[in-house]
């Protein structure tokens, strides 16, 4: 089968497009013919290599996969060949602590075929496209869990989203709006800000020309005079961490589900205790988060923005676009 893969960890130059053996489903598993693969920053982290995480080599990234069941492993019941499905990308055995992630710890969907446990599958409604389904798991599942299960956002609150133009960022903008929140979207260019306003953000701030903490203080007031926002979403960390803390109002929340801008960050200790803010971490998503998002698309209430759809043969260029932060929304690869 054709695939985009790497034989060693490294920069973009280690990616190859070529032939790899067709995978066979183990008992209890199925093989999928990939119809659409949604890319995430996780694809970049996996290729570069992450401390403490062992990745199967040659490695195939791609954790988000809309596909058609092509072959059933022994013992699989309740599923038939030809069904359109969307896997939950991860599998956790909480009794042993064993964690598995499609496209990370095991080969993923940047290929013509991949294998997955039958227990991880959910059916794709007929009125949901392969591209829209493949956009959901990692970005929208993560955003939904972070905003709702962990962040407990409420209608009427103001939510500031840093890095709002990417997959998780646009998901946060759309899901917060659906929840009845006012959304301030921060992105790195005027073009991205304009696109985010088109998607429904109430306000957009170009953080390459405006300091986000200064903007929030000037438009809402200082901390001790009621200024700031209820919720700040920051999954970039790095240099954005301390400024984002200074945007949180008293008793507000700072939500974090990643560190695409760097894992090391400076904490503004005075703002931490003076605001009495809550800093809340969120990891991944649960099956029910993915089901909610898929149902929202089927109802016509959620329309994931897709920046581009690429052929598998152009998969390396698709990864480059994400790495260079040249997209608004999701990038989809179709074998």
Clarify whether residues 265 and 161 are in a common domain: yes
Residue 271 placed within a domain: yes
What local confidence, expressed as pLDDT, does residue 236 receive? Answer: 87
How many structural domains does the chain have? Answer: 2
Clarify whether residues 70 and 117 are in a common domain: yes
Is residue 19 exposed (0-12), middle (13-18) or buried (19+ Cβ within 10 Å)?
exposed
Q: Are 141 and 274 in contact (CB under 8 A)?
A: no
Please report, in tens digits, the pLDDT of each residue of the chain (335 residues total). Answer: 999 999 999 999 999 999 999 999 999 999 999 999 999 999 999 999 988 888 889 999 999 999 999 999 999 999 999 999 999 999 988 788 888 999 999 999 999 999 999 999 999 999 999 999 999 999 999 999 999 999 999 999 999 999 999 999 999 999 999 999 999 999 999 999 999 999 999 999 999 999 999 999 999 999 999 999 999 999 988 899 999 999 999 999 999 998 887 888 889 999 999 999 999 999 999 999 999 999 999 999 999 999 999 999 999 999 999 999 899 999 999 99
Full-model pTM: 0.94
Clarify whether residues 148 and 259 are in a common domain: yes
Clarify whether residues 169 and 200 are in a common domain: yes
Q: Are 245 and 277 in contact (CB under 8 A)?
A: yes
Number of H helices, E strands in the chain: 10, 17
Is residue 276 exposed (0-12), middle (13-18) or buried (19+ Cβ within 10 Å)?
exposed
Q: In which domain, by residue range, is 25 found?
A: 2-135+304-334
Clarify whether residues 252 and 216 are in a common domain: yes
Residue 297 placed within a domain: no
Clarify whether residues 131 and 147 are in a common domain: no
CATH of the domain at 41: 3.90.180.10
């Amino acid at each position: 089968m054709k695939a985009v893969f790497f034989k060693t960890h490294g920069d973009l130059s280690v990616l190859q497009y070529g032939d790899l053996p067709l995978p066979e489903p183990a008992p209890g598993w199925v093989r999928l013919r990939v119809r659409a693969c949604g890319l995430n920053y996780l694809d970049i982290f996996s290729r570069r290599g992450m401390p403490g995480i062992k990745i199967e080599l040659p490695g195939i990234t791609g954790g988000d996969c809309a596909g058609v069941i092509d072959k059933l492993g022994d013992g699989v019941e309740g599923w038939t060949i030809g069904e359109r499905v969307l896997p939950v990308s991860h599998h956790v055995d909480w009794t042993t602590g064993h964690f598995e992630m499609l496209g990370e710890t095991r080969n993923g969907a940047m290929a013509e075929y991949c294998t997955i446990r039958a227990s991880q599958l959910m059916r794709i409604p007929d009125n949901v496209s392969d591209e829209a389904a493949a956009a959901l798991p990692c970005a929208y599942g993560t955003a939904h869990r972070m905003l709702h299960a962990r962040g407990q956002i409420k209608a009427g609150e103001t939510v500031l989203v840093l890095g709002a133009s990417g997959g998780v960022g646009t998901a946060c903008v759309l899901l917060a709006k659906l929840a009845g929140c006012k959304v301030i979207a921060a992105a790195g260019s005027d073009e991205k800000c304009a696109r985010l306003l088109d998607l429904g953000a109430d306000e957009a701030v170009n953080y390459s020309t405006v300091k986000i903490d200064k903007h929030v203080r000037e438009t809402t007031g200082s901390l001790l005079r009621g200024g700031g926002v209820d919720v700040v979403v920051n999954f970039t960390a790095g240099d954005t961490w301390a400024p984002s803390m200074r945007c949180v109002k008293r008793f507000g929340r700072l939500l974090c589900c990643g560190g695409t801008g760097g894992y090391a960050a400076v904490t503004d200790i005075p703002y931490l205790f003076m605001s009495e803010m809550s800093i809340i971490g969120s990891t991944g998503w649960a099956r029910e988060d993915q089901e909610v998002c898929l149902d929202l698309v089927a109802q016509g209430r959620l329309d994931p923005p897709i920046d581009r759809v690429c052929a598998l043969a152009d998969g390396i260029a698709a990864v480059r676009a994400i790495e260079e932060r040249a997209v608004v929304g999701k990038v989809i690869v179709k074998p």
